[in-house]
Amino acid sequence: MTETHFEILRAGTNSSIQDQGRKNLYHIGITISGAMDQKIFKLSNALVNNNLNEGVIEFAYQGPLLKLKNGSANFAITGNVDFNILRKNSIVEKGKCFQSYLLEKDDQLDIVYTKDSVFGYLAIEGGFKIEKVWNSFSVNTKAKIGPNNGEKFSTDEKIYLKKPEANNFEKKNIEYNNSVATTIRTVKGTNFDYFSNEAKNKFFKEEYQVTNLSDRMGMRLEGPKLDNTVNTNIKSEGLVKGVVQVPADGNPIIMFSDHGSIGGYPKIAVVITADHDRAAQLVPGSKIKFKEVDLDEAESLFKNYSKGIKGYLEKIK
Amino acid sequence: MIKNISNLGDAALYCDFGREVNEEINSYVISYFNYLKKLVEDKSIQGITNLSPSYNKLIVSFDLSITNFQKIKNKIETIKILNNEKKKSKKIKIPVCCEEKQALDLVPLSKKLKISPEEILNLYFKKEYFCYMTGFIAGMPFLGDIDETIRVDRLKTPRVKVPKGSVGITEQFCNIYTFESPGGWNILGNTPIKIFDKTNLNNPALIKPGDKVSFYKITKEEYLNWND
Protein backbone atom coordinates (compact mmCIF):
# COMPACT_ATOMS: atom_id res chain seq x y z
CA MET A 1 0.00 0.00 0.00
CA THR A 2 1.97 3.01 -1.19
CA GLU A 3 -0.85 5.51 -1.53
CA THR A 4 -0.77 8.44 0.87
CA HIS A 5 -3.34 7.86 3.57
CA PHE A 6 -4.23 8.32 7.20
CA GLU A 7 -4.52 5.33 9.43
CA ILE A 8 -7.11 6.04 12.11
CA LEU A 9 -5.53 4.99 15.41
CA ARG A 10 -8.44 6.51 17.38
CA ALA A 11 -11.57 7.74 15.66
CA GLY A 12 -12.73 10.23 18.31
CA THR A 13 -16.32 10.58 19.48
CA ASN A 14 -17.93 11.94 16.35
CA SER A 15 -15.61 12.35 13.38
CA SER A 16 -17.14 12.48 9.92
CA ILE A 17 -16.55 14.06 6.56
CA GLN A 18 -18.52 17.25 5.88
CA ASP A 19 -18.76 20.04 3.35
CA GLN A 20 -21.27 22.81 2.69
CA GLY A 21 -24.11 20.26 2.64
CA ARG A 22 -26.74 18.97 0.20
CA LYS A 23 -29.25 20.93 -1.81
CA ASN A 24 -32.69 20.40 -3.28
CA LEU A 25 -33.53 17.08 -1.60
CA TYR A 26 -35.75 18.19 1.30
CA HIS A 27 -38.78 17.04 -0.69
CA ILE A 28 -37.78 13.39 -0.40
CA GLY A 29 -36.75 13.82 3.19
CA ILE A 30 -33.02 14.23 2.68
CA THR A 31 -31.80 17.05 4.82
CA ILE A 32 -28.97 19.51 4.21
CA SER A 33 -26.31 18.11 6.60
CA GLY A 34 -22.94 19.82 6.11
CA ALA A 35 -20.48 21.41 8.53
CA MET A 36 -22.11 22.63 11.74
CA ASP A 37 -19.79 25.66 11.82
CA GLN A 38 -19.70 26.77 8.20
CA LYS A 39 -17.40 29.71 8.82
CA ILE A 40 -14.42 27.85 10.28
CA PHE A 41 -15.06 24.94 7.89
CA LYS A 42 -14.45 27.34 4.97
CA LEU A 43 -11.42 28.86 6.67
CA SER A 44 -9.86 25.40 7.17
CA ASN A 45 -10.03 24.84 3.41
CA ALA A 46 -8.70 28.30 2.63
CA LEU A 47 -5.65 27.75 4.86
CA VAL A 48 -4.58 24.77 2.72
CA ASN A 49 -5.35 26.36 -0.68
CA ASN A 50 -8.51 24.29 -1.26
CA ASN A 51 -11.75 25.11 -2.93
CA LEU A 52 -13.86 26.39 0.02
CA ASN A 53 -16.36 23.52 -0.39
CA GLU A 54 -13.83 20.67 -0.29
CA GLY A 55 -14.69 17.84 2.12
CA VAL A 56 -12.99 18.09 5.53
CA ILE A 57 -13.04 16.03 8.71
CA GLU A 58 -15.40 17.46 11.30
CA PHE A 59 -14.86 16.25 14.85
CA ALA A 60 -16.69 16.93 18.10
CA TYR A 61 -15.26 16.91 21.63
CA GLN A 62 -12.54 14.26 21.35
CA GLY A 63 -10.97 14.28 17.88
CA PRO A 64 -9.16 11.53 16.00
CA LEU A 65 -5.57 10.28 16.30
CA LEU A 66 -4.24 9.87 12.77
CA LYS A 67 -1.00 8.47 11.41
CA LEU A 68 0.17 9.54 7.97
CA LYS A 69 1.29 6.61 5.86
CA ASN A 70 3.46 7.46 2.83
CA GLY A 71 3.90 10.85 1.20
CA SER A 72 3.34 14.13 3.00
CA ALA A 73 0.38 16.40 3.64
CA ASN A 74 -0.38 20.05 4.18
CA PHE A 75 -3.07 20.35 6.85
CA ALA A 76 -4.82 22.95 8.97
CA ILE A 77 -7.12 22.65 11.97
CA THR A 78 -9.71 25.29 12.78
CA GLY A 79 -11.74 25.75 15.92
CA ASN A 80 -10.71 26.00 19.54
CA VAL A 81 -8.83 22.74 19.51
CA ASP A 82 -6.05 21.22 21.58
CA PHE A 83 -3.86 19.11 19.30
CA ASN A 84 -0.31 17.77 19.02
CA ILE A 85 1.86 16.65 16.16
CA LEU A 86 3.91 13.62 17.14
CA ARG A 87 6.88 13.71 14.82
CA LYS A 88 8.47 10.39 13.92
CA ASN A 89 11.64 11.34 15.81
CA SER A 90 9.50 11.44 19.01
CA ILE A 91 9.36 15.22 19.16
CA VAL A 92 5.94 16.45 20.23
CA GLU A 93 4.91 19.72 18.66
CA LYS A 94 2.03 21.60 20.25
CA GLY A 95 -0.44 22.54 17.49
CA LYS A 96 -1.88 25.95 16.81
CA CYS A 97 -5.30 26.33 15.19
CA PHE A 98 -5.82 28.44 12.08
CA GLN A 99 -2.35 27.63 10.81
CA SER A 100 -1.13 25.21 8.14
CA TYR A 101 1.47 22.55 8.88
CA LEU A 102 3.44 20.03 6.92
CA LEU A 103 2.90 16.46 8.05
CA GLU A 104 5.42 13.87 6.94
CA LYS A 105 5.34 10.13 6.54
CA ASP A 106 4.79 8.33 9.86
CA ASP A 107 4.02 11.54 11.75
CA GLN A 108 0.92 11.37 13.94
CA LEU A 109 -1.72 14.00 14.42
CA ASP A 110 -3.40 13.77 17.81
CA ILE A 111 -6.53 15.92 18.02
CA VAL A 112 -7.10 15.85 21.75
CA TYR A 113 -10.29 17.84 22.34
CA THR A 114 -12.34 20.91 21.49
CA LYS A 115 -12.08 23.54 24.24
CA ASP A 116 -15.25 25.41 25.33
CA SER A 117 -16.72 24.47 21.97
CA VAL A 118 -18.10 21.42 20.20
CA PHE A 119 -16.81 21.27 16.62
CA GLY A 120 -13.43 21.55 14.94
CA TYR A 121 -12.25 20.92 11.36
CA LEU A 122 -9.28 19.22 9.76
CA ALA A 123 -8.61 20.17 6.15
CA ILE A 124 -5.94 18.56 3.96
CA GLU A 125 -4.60 20.24 0.85
CA GLY A 126 -6.25 18.57 -2.15
CA GLY A 127 -8.91 16.89 -0.06
CA PHE A 128 -9.74 13.24 0.59
CA LYS A 129 -10.27 10.47 -1.93
CA ILE A 130 -13.92 10.00 -1.08
CA GLU A 131 -16.88 9.80 -3.47
CA LYS A 132 -19.67 12.33 -3.10
CA VAL A 133 -23.21 11.05 -2.56
CA TRP A 134 -26.04 13.21 -3.90
CA ASN A 135 -23.41 15.77 -4.82
CA SER A 136 -22.01 16.22 -1.33
CA PHE A 137 -19.33 14.72 0.91
CA SER A 138 -21.46 15.26 4.00
CA VAL A 139 -22.27 12.28 6.19
CA ASN A 140 -25.60 12.08 8.02
CA THR A 141 -25.13 9.29 10.55
CA LYS A 142 -28.78 9.30 11.70
CA ALA A 143 -30.13 8.73 8.21
CA LYS A 144 -27.06 6.74 7.13
CA ILE A 145 -26.67 9.02 4.13
CA GLY A 146 -23.45 10.09 2.46
CA PRO A 147 -20.08 8.49 1.80
CA ASN A 148 -18.63 5.83 4.13
CA ASN A 149 -22.16 4.31 4.15
CA GLY A 150 -23.37 7.31 6.08
CA GLU A 151 -21.22 6.32 9.06
CA LYS A 152 -18.79 8.34 11.13
CA PHE A 153 -15.14 7.30 10.95
CA SER A 154 -14.10 4.34 13.04
CA THR A 155 -10.78 3.17 14.45
CA ASP A 156 -8.51 1.21 12.07
CA GLU A 157 -10.15 2.70 9.00
CA LYS A 158 -7.96 4.31 6.33
CA ILE A 159 -8.61 7.67 4.71
CA TYR A 160 -6.84 8.26 1.39
CA LEU A 161 -5.62 11.67 0.30
CA LYS A 162 -6.04 12.97 -3.24
CA LYS A 163 -2.63 14.64 -3.24
CA PRO A 164 0.23 12.19 -2.57
CA GLU A 165 2.79 14.86 -1.63
CA ALA A 166 2.49 18.39 -0.27
CA ASN A 167 4.72 20.13 -2.80
CA ASN A 168 5.89 23.69 -2.24
CA PHE A 169 4.54 23.89 1.29
CA GLU A 170 4.01 27.44 2.39
CA LYS A 171 2.84 28.18 5.92
CA LYS A 172 -0.36 30.18 6.17
CA ASN A 173 -2.06 31.43 9.27
CA ILE A 174 -4.55 33.93 10.61
CA GLU A 175 -5.32 35.32 14.02
CA TYR A 176 -8.79 34.12 14.89
CA ASN A 177 -10.65 34.99 18.02
CA ASN A 178 -12.77 32.06 19.26
CA SER A 179 -15.60 33.62 21.24
CA VAL A 180 -18.38 31.86 23.11
CA ALA A 181 -21.90 33.05 22.38
CA THR A 182 -24.15 34.16 25.23
CA THR A 183 -26.86 35.70 23.07
CA ILE A 184 -28.47 34.03 20.07
CA ARG A 185 -30.35 36.30 17.73
CA THR A 186 -33.62 35.12 16.21
CA VAL A 187 -36.55 36.34 14.16
CA LYS A 188 -40.08 35.45 15.23
CA GLY A 189 -41.26 32.06 14.07
CA THR A 190 -44.37 31.34 12.04
CA ASN A 191 -46.19 30.09 15.18
CA PHE A 192 -45.02 32.86 17.53
CA ASP A 193 -48.62 33.74 18.32
CA TYR A 194 -49.40 30.21 19.50
CA PHE A 195 -47.62 31.11 22.75
CA SER A 196 -48.98 32.98 25.75
CA ASN A 197 -47.80 36.55 26.33
CA GLU A 198 -45.96 35.29 29.36
CA ALA A 199 -44.16 32.67 27.26
CA LYS A 200 -43.22 35.25 24.60
CA ASN A 201 -41.69 37.46 27.29
CA LYS A 202 -39.86 34.62 28.97
CA PHE A 203 -38.44 33.40 25.69
CA PHE A 204 -36.64 36.67 25.05
CA LYS A 205 -35.83 37.60 28.65
CA GLU A 206 -34.82 34.52 30.54
CA GLU A 207 -31.89 32.17 30.30
CA TYR A 208 -31.97 28.79 28.60
CA GLN A 209 -29.48 26.05 29.26
CA VAL A 210 -28.11 23.73 26.59
CA THR A 211 -28.72 20.08 27.59
CA ASN A 212 -26.64 17.08 26.65
CA LEU A 213 -29.43 15.90 24.34
CA SER A 214 -27.73 17.90 21.62
CA ASP A 215 -26.14 16.67 18.42
CA ARG A 216 -25.91 17.44 14.71
CA MET A 217 -29.70 17.13 14.41
CA GLY A 218 -30.75 19.53 17.10
CA MET A 219 -30.04 21.12 20.44
CA ARG A 220 -32.50 20.63 23.28
CA LEU A 221 -32.65 23.49 25.74
CA GLU A 222 -34.07 23.72 29.22
CA GLY A 223 -35.43 26.75 30.96
CA PRO A 224 -38.71 28.46 31.75
CA LYS A 225 -41.47 26.34 30.16
CA LEU A 226 -43.08 27.97 27.13
CA ASP A 227 -46.82 27.79 27.48
CA ASN A 228 -48.72 27.22 24.24
CA THR A 229 -52.27 28.58 24.25
CA VAL A 230 -53.38 27.50 20.76
CA ASN A 231 -52.12 24.02 19.90
CA THR A 232 -49.03 22.08 20.86
CA ASN A 233 -49.08 20.34 17.49
CA ILE A 234 -49.21 21.80 14.02
CA LYS A 235 -49.77 20.00 10.74
CA SER A 236 -46.33 18.66 9.85
CA GLU A 237 -44.50 21.04 7.54
CA GLY A 238 -41.01 21.86 6.34
CA LEU A 239 -38.21 22.79 8.68
CA VAL A 240 -35.01 24.72 8.06
CA LYS A 241 -31.75 24.98 9.99
CA GLY A 242 -32.15 27.36 12.90
CA VAL A 243 -35.86 26.77 13.58
CA VAL A 244 -36.69 26.77 17.29
CA GLN A 245 -39.48 24.23 17.83
CA VAL A 246 -41.38 23.88 21.08
CA PRO A 247 -43.02 20.50 21.77
CA ALA A 248 -45.76 20.11 24.38
CA ASP A 249 -43.29 19.84 27.26
CA GLY A 250 -42.50 23.55 26.74
CA ASN A 251 -38.74 23.18 26.18
CA PRO A 252 -37.29 24.68 22.99
CA ILE A 253 -35.25 22.65 20.47
CA ILE A 254 -33.00 24.34 17.88
CA MET A 255 -32.75 22.51 14.55
CA PHE A 256 -29.25 21.98 13.13
CA SER A 257 -27.66 20.53 9.99
CA ASP A 258 -29.02 16.95 10.22
CA HIS A 259 -32.53 18.08 11.29
CA GLY A 260 -35.57 16.23 9.97
CA SER A 261 -36.85 17.84 6.79
CA ILE A 262 -40.36 18.07 8.30
CA GLY A 263 -41.66 18.67 11.80
CA GLY A 264 -44.94 19.08 13.65
CA TYR A 265 -44.11 21.23 16.64
CA PRO A 266 -44.85 24.96 16.71
CA LYS A 267 -42.00 27.23 15.66
CA ILE A 268 -41.55 30.04 18.16
CA ALA A 269 -38.50 31.55 16.47
CA VAL A 270 -35.75 30.98 13.93
CA VAL A 271 -32.06 31.59 14.67
CA ILE A 272 -30.68 34.04 12.11
CA THR A 273 -28.19 32.63 9.59
CA ALA A 274 -25.39 34.82 10.98
CA ASP A 275 -25.71 33.03 14.34
CA HIS A 276 -25.96 29.40 13.19
CA ASP A 277 -22.25 28.74 13.67
CA ARG A 278 -22.07 30.36 17.10
CA ALA A 279 -25.12 28.45 18.31
CA ALA A 280 -23.76 25.13 17.05
CA GLN A 281 -20.62 25.57 19.15
CA LEU A 282 -22.49 25.83 22.48
CA VAL A 283 -21.51 23.03 24.86
CA PRO A 284 -24.05 21.34 27.16
CA GLY A 285 -24.48 23.42 30.29
CA SER A 286 -24.02 26.75 28.44
CA LYS A 287 -26.54 29.41 29.34
CA ILE A 288 -27.88 31.62 26.59
CA LYS A 289 -30.50 34.26 25.97
CA PHE A 290 -32.49 34.71 22.78
CA LYS A 291 -32.72 38.18 21.28
CA GLU A 292 -35.32 39.26 18.77
CA VAL A 293 -34.30 41.02 15.54
CA ASP A 294 -36.42 41.79 12.48
CA LEU A 295 -35.83 40.51 8.96
CA ASP A 296 -33.96 43.67 7.83
CA GLU A 297 -31.57 43.44 10.77
CA ALA A 298 -31.08 39.71 10.17
CA GLU A 299 -30.18 40.40 6.53
CA SER A 300 -27.71 43.13 7.43
CA LEU A 301 -26.18 40.93 10.17
CA PHE A 302 -25.69 38.27 7.52
CA LYS A 303 -23.85 40.83 5.37
CA ASN A 304 -21.52 41.54 8.30
CA TYR A 305 -21.03 37.81 8.82
CA SER A 306 -20.09 37.33 5.15
CA LYS A 307 -17.82 40.36 5.27
CA GLY A 308 -16.08 38.81 8.28
CA ILE A 309 -15.37 35.61 6.34
CA LYS A 310 -14.22 37.60 3.33
CA GLY A 311 -11.82 39.57 5.54
CA TYR A 312 -10.20 36.37 6.79
CA LEU A 313 -10.01 34.92 3.28
CA GLU A 314 -8.18 38.02 2.06
CA LYS A 315 -5.68 37.74 4.92
CA ILE A 316 -5.01 34.11 3.99
CA LYS A 317 -4.25 34.92 0.33
CA MET B 1 -53.79 28.91 -4.09
CA ILE B 2 -51.27 30.67 -1.86
CA LYS B 3 -53.11 32.64 0.83
CA ASN B 4 -50.09 34.27 2.42
CA ILE B 5 -46.31 34.44 2.07
CA SER B 6 -44.16 35.17 5.11
CA ASN B 7 -40.56 34.64 6.12
CA LEU B 8 -39.35 31.58 8.01
CA GLY B 9 -36.17 32.98 9.46
CA ASP B 10 -34.00 35.06 7.13
CA ALA B 11 -33.31 32.40 4.49
CA ALA B 12 -36.68 30.80 3.71
CA LEU B 13 -40.15 31.70 2.45
CA TYR B 14 -43.23 30.22 4.03
CA CYS B 15 -46.06 29.87 1.49
CA ASP B 16 -49.32 29.19 3.26
CA PHE B 17 -52.11 27.47 1.30
CA GLY B 18 -54.56 27.48 4.22
CA ARG B 19 -55.31 25.47 7.31
CA GLU B 20 -57.26 22.53 5.97
CA VAL B 21 -55.63 19.30 4.92
CA ASN B 22 -57.17 17.65 1.88
CA GLU B 23 -56.17 16.30 -1.50
CA GLU B 24 -57.37 19.43 -3.29
CA ILE B 25 -55.16 21.87 -1.35
CA ASN B 26 -52.27 19.44 -1.32
CA SER B 27 -52.32 19.17 -5.11
CA TYR B 28 -51.93 22.97 -5.39
CA VAL B 29 -48.88 22.75 -3.14
CA ILE B 30 -47.45 20.03 -5.38
CA SER B 31 -48.18 22.13 -8.49
CA TYR B 32 -46.24 25.12 -7.14
CA PHE B 33 -43.49 22.77 -6.01
CA ASN B 34 -43.16 21.22 -9.49
CA TYR B 35 -43.25 24.64 -11.17
CA LEU B 36 -40.47 26.04 -8.96
CA LYS B 37 -38.45 22.82 -9.16
CA LYS B 38 -38.42 23.21 -12.94
CA LEU B 39 -37.28 26.85 -12.66
CA VAL B 40 -34.43 25.72 -10.38
CA GLU B 41 -33.44 22.88 -12.71
CA ASP B 42 -33.54 25.17 -15.74
CA LYS B 43 -31.48 27.73 -13.79
CA SER B 44 -34.09 30.39 -14.52
CA ILE B 45 -34.19 31.38 -10.87
CA GLN B 46 -31.13 32.08 -8.76
CA GLY B 47 -30.36 31.18 -5.18
CA ILE B 48 -33.08 28.63 -4.29
CA THR B 49 -31.44 25.80 -2.32
CA ASN B 50 -34.46 23.69 -1.35
CA LEU B 51 -38.20 23.28 -1.84
CA SER B 52 -40.18 21.60 0.88
CA PRO B 53 -43.84 20.83 0.12
CA SER B 54 -46.15 19.59 2.87
CA TYR B 55 -49.93 19.18 3.40
CA ASN B 56 -50.76 22.83 2.92
CA LYS B 57 -47.46 24.73 3.02
CA LEU B 58 -44.50 25.15 0.72
CA ILE B 59 -41.19 26.27 2.17
CA VAL B 60 -38.65 27.75 -0.22
CA SER B 61 -35.12 27.92 1.17
CA PHE B 62 -32.56 30.20 -0.42
CA ASP B 63 -28.93 31.21 -0.17
CA LEU B 64 -28.81 34.59 1.51
CA SER B 65 -25.52 35.42 -0.20
CA ILE B 66 -27.26 35.21 -3.60
CA THR B 67 -30.81 36.43 -3.06
CA ASN B 68 -33.24 37.46 -0.33
CA PHE B 69 -36.81 37.12 0.90
CA GLN B 70 -38.25 40.02 -1.10
CA LYS B 71 -36.74 38.93 -4.43
CA ILE B 72 -38.03 35.36 -4.18
CA LYS B 73 -41.41 36.57 -2.92
CA ASN B 74 -41.79 38.90 -5.92
CA LYS B 75 -40.99 36.04 -8.25
CA ILE B 76 -43.45 33.61 -6.64
CA GLU B 77 -46.23 36.18 -6.72
CA THR B 78 -46.02 36.29 -10.51
CA ILE B 79 -46.56 32.53 -10.84
CA LYS B 80 -49.98 31.51 -12.08
CA ILE B 81 -50.91 27.88 -11.74
CA LEU B 82 -53.69 27.14 -14.22
CA ASN B 83 -53.91 23.39 -14.25
CA ASN B 84 -53.95 21.71 -10.92
CA GLU B 85 -51.66 18.71 -10.90
CA LYS B 86 -53.40 15.41 -11.70
CA LYS B 87 -52.05 12.69 -9.51
CA LYS B 88 -50.69 9.47 -10.96
CA SER B 89 -51.43 7.20 -8.06
CA LYS B 90 -49.74 3.91 -7.43
CA LYS B 91 -51.20 1.37 -4.97
CA ILE B 92 -48.79 -0.02 -2.37
CA LYS B 93 -49.42 -2.63 0.33
CA ILE B 94 -47.25 -2.64 3.46
CA PRO B 95 -46.95 -5.62 5.88
CA VAL B 96 -46.98 -4.71 9.59
CA CYS B 97 -46.27 -6.76 12.71
CA CYS B 98 -48.15 -5.56 15.81
CA GLU B 99 -46.68 -7.74 18.56
CA GLU B 100 -45.96 -6.11 21.93
CA LYS B 101 -42.30 -5.54 21.05
CA GLN B 102 -43.22 -3.64 17.87
CA ALA B 103 -46.43 -1.87 18.92
CA LEU B 104 -44.76 0.44 21.44
CA ASP B 105 -47.76 2.66 22.09
CA LEU B 106 -50.73 0.36 21.45
CA VAL B 107 -51.54 -0.38 25.10
CA PRO B 108 -51.26 3.21 26.41
CA LEU B 109 -53.21 4.37 23.36
CA SER B 110 -55.96 1.85 24.06
CA LYS B 111 -56.26 3.20 27.61
CA LYS B 112 -56.26 6.79 26.42
CA LEU B 113 -58.88 6.23 23.72
CA LYS B 114 -60.86 3.63 25.70
CA ILE B 115 -60.88 1.41 22.62
CA SER B 116 -59.47 -2.12 22.69
CA PRO B 117 -56.09 -2.72 21.02
CA GLU B 118 -57.75 -5.13 18.56
CA GLU B 119 -60.32 -2.53 17.53
CA ILE B 120 -57.64 0.18 17.08
CA LEU B 121 -55.77 -2.16 14.74
CA ASN B 122 -58.95 -3.17 12.87
CA LEU B 123 -59.75 0.47 12.19
CA TYR B 124 -56.15 1.16 11.16
CA PHE B 125 -55.89 -1.81 8.77
CA LYS B 126 -59.23 -1.42 7.03
CA LYS B 127 -58.60 1.90 5.27
CA GLU B 128 -56.59 2.88 2.21
CA TYR B 129 -54.51 6.04 2.72
CA PHE B 130 -53.41 8.91 0.49
CA CYS B 131 -49.76 10.05 0.56
CA TYR B 132 -49.64 13.81 1.13
CA MET B 133 -45.87 14.19 1.30
CA THR B 134 -42.60 12.49 2.14
CA GLY B 135 -39.98 13.79 4.48
CA PHE B 136 -38.87 14.45 8.05
CA ILE B 137 -36.38 11.66 7.46
CA ALA B 138 -35.52 10.27 4.04
CA GLY B 139 -38.56 8.74 2.36
CA MET B 140 -40.93 8.89 5.35
CA PRO B 141 -44.47 9.00 3.92
CA PHE B 142 -47.17 11.13 5.56
CA LEU B 143 -50.44 9.33 4.91
CA GLY B 144 -54.09 10.02 5.68
CA ASP B 145 -56.75 10.06 6.78
CA ILE B 146 -57.11 7.58 9.63
CA ASP B 147 -60.47 6.73 11.21
CA GLU B 148 -61.76 9.64 13.35
CA THR B 149 -62.13 7.51 16.47
CA ILE B 150 -58.39 6.71 16.73
CA ARG B 151 -56.99 10.21 16.27
CA VAL B 152 -54.56 11.40 18.98
CA ASP B 153 -51.86 14.02 19.50
CA ARG B 154 -48.14 13.35 19.33
CA LEU B 155 -46.40 12.04 22.42
CA LYS B 156 -45.84 14.82 24.92
CA THR B 157 -42.08 14.35 24.88
CA PRO B 158 -40.82 12.87 21.64
CA ARG B 159 -38.88 9.58 21.80
CA VAL B 160 -35.13 9.99 21.36
CA LYS B 161 -35.09 6.80 19.26
CA VAL B 162 -38.01 5.36 17.30
CA PRO B 163 -36.99 2.01 15.73
CA LYS B 164 -36.60 1.80 11.95
CA GLY B 165 -39.74 0.42 10.28
CA SER B 166 -42.10 1.67 13.01
CA VAL B 167 -45.57 2.63 11.80
CA GLY B 168 -47.21 5.43 13.75
CA ILE B 169 -50.29 7.59 13.97
CA THR B 170 -50.99 11.14 15.04
CA GLU B 171 -54.04 13.32 14.40
CA GLN B 172 -55.58 12.28 11.05
CA PHE B 173 -52.32 10.82 9.75
CA CYS B 174 -50.17 7.72 9.74
CA ASN B 175 -46.53 7.26 8.74
CA ILE B 176 -43.60 4.85 8.53
CA TYR B 177 -40.17 5.54 10.10
CA THR B 178 -37.73 4.69 7.31
CA PHE B 179 -34.74 4.99 9.67
CA GLU B 180 -34.22 4.99 13.42
CA SER B 181 -34.91 8.56 14.41
CA PRO B 182 -36.24 10.76 17.17
CA GLY B 183 -39.98 11.15 16.85
CA GLY B 184 -43.27 11.71 18.62
CA TRP B 185 -45.81 9.57 16.77
CA ASN B 186 -47.80 6.81 18.49
CA ILE B 187 -46.29 3.54 17.33
CA LEU B 188 -48.69 0.70 16.41
CA GLY B 189 -46.29 -1.79 14.82
CA ASN B 190 -43.30 -2.33 12.58
CA THR B 191 -42.81 -3.22 8.93
CA PRO B 192 -39.92 -5.42 7.77
CA ILE B 193 -39.84 -3.93 4.26
CA LYS B 194 -37.50 -1.27 2.89
CA ILE B 195 -39.40 1.98 2.31
CA PHE B 196 -36.34 3.99 1.34
CA ASP B 197 -33.48 2.48 -0.65
CA LYS B 198 -30.50 4.81 -0.65
CA THR B 199 -28.63 2.58 -3.11
CA ASN B 200 -31.25 3.51 -5.71
CA LEU B 201 -29.96 7.04 -6.32
CA ASN B 202 -32.54 8.05 -8.92
CA ASN B 203 -35.63 6.63 -7.25
CA PRO B 204 -34.91 5.92 -3.59
CA ALA B 205 -38.43 6.43 -2.15
CA LEU B 206 -41.00 3.58 -2.47
CA ILE B 207 -43.95 5.85 -1.64
CA LYS B 208 -44.46 9.25 -3.26
CA PRO B 209 -46.97 12.07 -2.80
CA GLY B 210 -50.26 11.08 -4.44
CA ASP B 211 -49.80 7.31 -3.98
CA LYS B 212 -52.39 5.12 -2.23
CA VAL B 213 -51.13 2.97 0.62
CA SER B 214 -52.73 0.26 2.73
CA PHE B 215 -51.37 -1.88 5.54
CA TYR B 216 -51.91 -5.56 6.37
CA LYS B 217 -51.10 -7.51 9.49
CA ILE B 218 -48.41 -10.19 9.57
CA THR B 219 -47.42 -12.59 12.35
CA LYS B 220 -44.26 -12.45 14.43
CA GLU B 221 -42.87 -15.43 12.46
CA GLU B 222 -43.57 -13.78 9.11
CA TYR B 223 -41.99 -10.58 10.40
CA LEU B 224 -38.81 -12.24 11.64
CA ASN B 225 -38.37 -14.30 8.47
CA TRP B 226 -39.22 -11.55 5.99
CA ASN B 227 -37.16 -11.44 2.82
CA ASP B 228 -37.37 -8.06 1.14
Q: Got the DSSP string for chain A?
A: --S-EEEEEE--SS-EEE-S---S-GGGT------SSHHHHHHHHHHTT--TT--EEEEESS--EEEEESSEEEEEEESSEEEEEE-TTS-EEE--SSBEEEEETT-EEEEEEETTSSEEEEEETT-B----BTTB---BTTTTBSTGGG----TT-EEEBS-SS-TT----B--------SEEEEEE-TTGGGB-HHHHHHHHHS-EEEEEEESSSEEEEESS---BSS-S----EE--TTEEE--TT---EEE-TT--SEE-S-EEEEE-GGGHHHHHTPPTT-EEEEEE--HHHHHHHHHHHHHHHHHHHHHH-
- % of residues, chain B, pLDDT over 90: 77
C-alpha B186/C-alpha B100 separation (Å) is 13
Please check the confidence at residue B228 and state whether its pLDDT lies above 80. Answer: no
Read off the pLDDT band of B84 (50, 70, 90): low
Q: Provide the mean pLDDT of chain A.
A: 96
C-alpha A115/C-alpha A82 separation (Å) is 7
Chain B residues inside the 8 Å CB shell of A271: 9
For residue A28, give the nearest of B61, B139, B156 by CB distance.
B139
C-alpha B53/C-alpha B83 separation (Å) is 18
B7, A187: Cβ pair inside 8 Å?
A: yes
Provide the 10 A C-beta neighbour count for residue A83.
24
Nearest residue in A to B162, CA atom: A142
What ipTM was estimated for this complex?
A: 0.95
C-alpha B65/C-alpha A185 separation (Å) is 19
Predicted local confidence at residue B215, as pLDDT: 98
Closest CA to A81 of A94, A71, A91, A90: A94
For B5-43, the pLDDT digits (tens) are 999 999 999 999 999 998 889 988 988 998 999 999 999
Domains of chain B, earliest start first:
4-77 (3.30.1360.40), 91-224 (2.40.100.10)
Rounded to the nearest angstrom, the minimum Cα separation between A23 and chain B is: 5
C-alpha A137/C-alpha A162 separation (Å) is 14
Predicted local confidence at residue B83, as pLDDT: 61
A302 contact B CB<8A: yes
For residue A143, give the nearest of B40, B51, B137 by CB distance.
B137
* CB half-sphere exposure, B60, CA atoms < 13 A: 30
Q: What is the mean pLDDT of residues A155-170?
A: 96
Please check the confidence at residue B86 and state whether its pLDDT lies above 70. Answer: no
- % of residues, chain A, pLDDT over 90: 93
Please check the confidence at residue B87 and state whether its pLDDT lies above 60. Answer: no
Q: pTM for this structure?
A: 0.90
Domains of chain A, earliest start first:
5-160 (no CATH), 183-313 (2.40.100.10)
Rounded to the nearest angstrom, the minimum Cα separation between B198 and chain A is: 7
Predicted local confidence at residue B203, as pLDDT: 85
Read off the pLDDT band of A218 (50, 70, 90): very high
For residue B10, give the nearest of A28, A260, A273 by CB distance.
A273
Predicted local confidence at residue B88, as pLDDT: 64
Chain A residues inside the 8 Å CB shell of B139: 28-29
Q: What is the mean pLDDT of residues B106-131?
A: 96
Predicted local confidence at residue B202, as pLDDT: 81
Residues within 8 A of B (CB atoms), A 52-111 only: none
Predicted local confidence at residue A264, as pLDDT: 87
Q: What is the mean pLDDT of residues B165-194?
A: 95
Q: What is the mean pLDDT of residues B68-77?
A: 96
A201 contact B CB<8A: no
Please check the confidence at residue B45 and state whether its pLDDT lies above 90. Answer: yes
Predicted local confidence at residue A143, as pLDDT: 85
Please check the confidence at residue A108 and state whether its pLDDT lies above 60. Answer: yes
Q: What is the mean pLDDT of residues B189-211?
A: 89
Rounded to the nearest angstrom, the minimum Cα separation between A117 and chain B is: 23
B95-119 exposure pattern, b = at least 16 Cβ within 10 A, e = fewer: bbbbeeebbbbbeebbeebebebee
